[in-house]
Amino acid sequence: MRCASIIRMMNHFLTEEVFTNGVSKYLKEFEYQNAVQDDLWEHLNDEANTMQIVDLPATVKEVMDTWTLQTGYPVVNAMRDGQNVTVNQKRFLLDSTATEETPTYWYVPLNLVRSSNVAEFDSTNATVWLYPNASSVEFTLDQDDEWYIINAQQTGYYRVNYDEKNWEALNKTLSESHEVIHVINRAQILDDALNLARAGLLNYTIALSLTQYLGQEKSYIPWATTADNLSYLRRMLETSGKYEEYRAYILSLIKDVLARVGFEFPVLEDVPANGNYPDVTEVMYNELIWGTACQMGEPWCHGNATEQFRNWKGNYNQSAPDQALLNPNIKGLVYCEGVRSGTVEDWDFVYEHYNKTNYAAERTLLLAAMACTKESWLLNKYLYMLLDPVTNGIRSQDVSRAFAYIAANPIGRAEAFKFVKVNWDHLKESYGGGISALGRFISPFSNFNTQYELELLQTLKRENEGTLGSAARAMDQTIESVVINIEWMNKNFDAVVGWLEANNAGGRGISVL
């Protein structure tokens, strides 16, 4: 993703014409030959000099070396004073406790969109550059500009942090007329704000307030980036006594979406005969909303999903297990809800289907569904089936994936850790030879967020110091993640819960099944 994002950024600051011509000449010259990245930079630089339609701050090599030979990426800080906006850069560090011994800087392409001229969203070329030093640059706004956005259509590979007044103005615009802002920049605003808050660079009150407009949002990208970011809050809160506050707030966001005319639970008949959807992002949007609704226990979603599960089970053809009976976009959701609210018979039925299906993608959905149960004894049974995968019909390549699904279930988290501790020698013997196989039984515990859980991991490491082998790196990384989670809990738990309590009234009246 990083490589693709950097290439996209380069395409925009060079312009499409320069980039396309330069790449074409590079590919033609090095056809059937070896090349290094400097060869590409040279051809792009030559094309930029030849066409003279873009003004670069340095050679393409000098610009791109700051992006390809350094780790990380910057956060651009913007501060407004009257009509002037001062911009500087700093390396973005998600870990709020981390520091840099030597500051890292980049050549950063900048552009600005003003509230008085939203047509600037279509102008993605760089108008100003930050240089790889501690200097800053300035933009000038019109007097009547209520807000401004840096990085039109998020073509630059960096985050942006604004002054508090601009965040408030953006929040007001999202609430009152969100479509004025380009859809990609709506996603950017949410993604930047929530990541900046997690990194300790922005107050969570500001970041979470920006999400309140989402009930009006009909586009997939802003919802997807928000769901991805809020999943961290969910993981931090789901084993606490305050998870209900998170659940109620998410339900308050999606209730307006579910209430829209024509927004129905997907069925098999919705799939086009030729398989080609007019707008695939609409399909992804529906899948995301319904998936979130069921995960939060929304009754309408639960009822639809369990009804489809019963119909699938009732019409199941033993001789043709892969017969199409469900909309493929919500299969995983239906399987999961069926198991979550079902009986041991339903769990066994899903397990039997796992052993009959001919499709690897279907098996993955079923592995995840079997971990959706609320019964701890069933999760424990599932865990111990993994010790003898051949006998139990579970493919060896699916074992670590199934384990991760079980550990991701709050009910199964403690059982999963106990399983690893008790069966370490067996796991070491079976999976210790691979480069990262054994580590896959450690990494799922990176969601731990209490001192007690940290001590459990440290004890496991200490007791098996000499036998960690390929899991040593995963163990260290997991412990590091848990330390960061504990720091986050200490700094942000009360503030986040307090904000949720004050803003989730719209979801309190929705019963949970």
Q: How confident is the model at residue 130 (pLDDT cuts 50, 70, 90)?
A: very high
pLDDT of residue 61: 97
Q: Are 155 and 179 part of one and the same domain?
A: yes
Cβ atoms of 312 and 306 within 8 Å: the answer is: no
Domain count, the chain: 4
- Distance CA(342)–CA(337), nearest Å, equals 8
| Nearest to 393, CA basis, from 377, 382, 379, 403 | 382
- Regarding whether 90 and 50 lie in a shared domain, the answer is no
End-to-end CA distance of the chain: 38
pTM of the full structure: 0.93
Contact 170, 147 (CB under 8 A): yes
d(CA 377, CA 12): 55
- The answer as to whether 487 is a domain residue is yes
Asked if the structure places residue 90 within a domain, the reply is yes
pLDDT in tens, 226-268: 999 999 999 999 999 999 999 999 999 999 999 987 899 999 9
Binned at pLDDT 50, 70 and 90, residue 101 comes out as confident
Of residues 227, 244, 364, the one with CA closest to residue 289 = 227
Task: Identify the band that residue 98 occupies on the pLDDT scale cut at 50, 70 and 90.
Answer: confident
Q: Does some domain include residue 225? A: no
What stretches of 296-432 show up as alpha helix (H) in DSSP?
A: 299-314, 331-340, 344-356, 360-370, 376-385, 399-408, 413-422, 424-431
Query: Which domain-ending residue is among 305, 337, 372?
Result: 372
Are residues 88 and 197 located together in one domain of the fold?
Answer: yes
**Do residue 81 and residue 206 come from a single domain?**
yes
The domain in which residue 472 lies consists of 375-506
What CATH number is associated with residue 170? 2.60.40.1910
Pairing of strands 128-130, 108-110: antiparallel
In a domain, 279, yes or no: yes
CB count in 10 Å sphere of residue 140: 11
| Other beta carbons within 10 Å of 178 | 19
In sequence order, the 6+-apart residues with CB closer than 8 A to the CB of 132 are: 66, 105, 106, 107
- In a shared domain, residues 194 and 296: no
329 and 439, same domain (yes or no): no
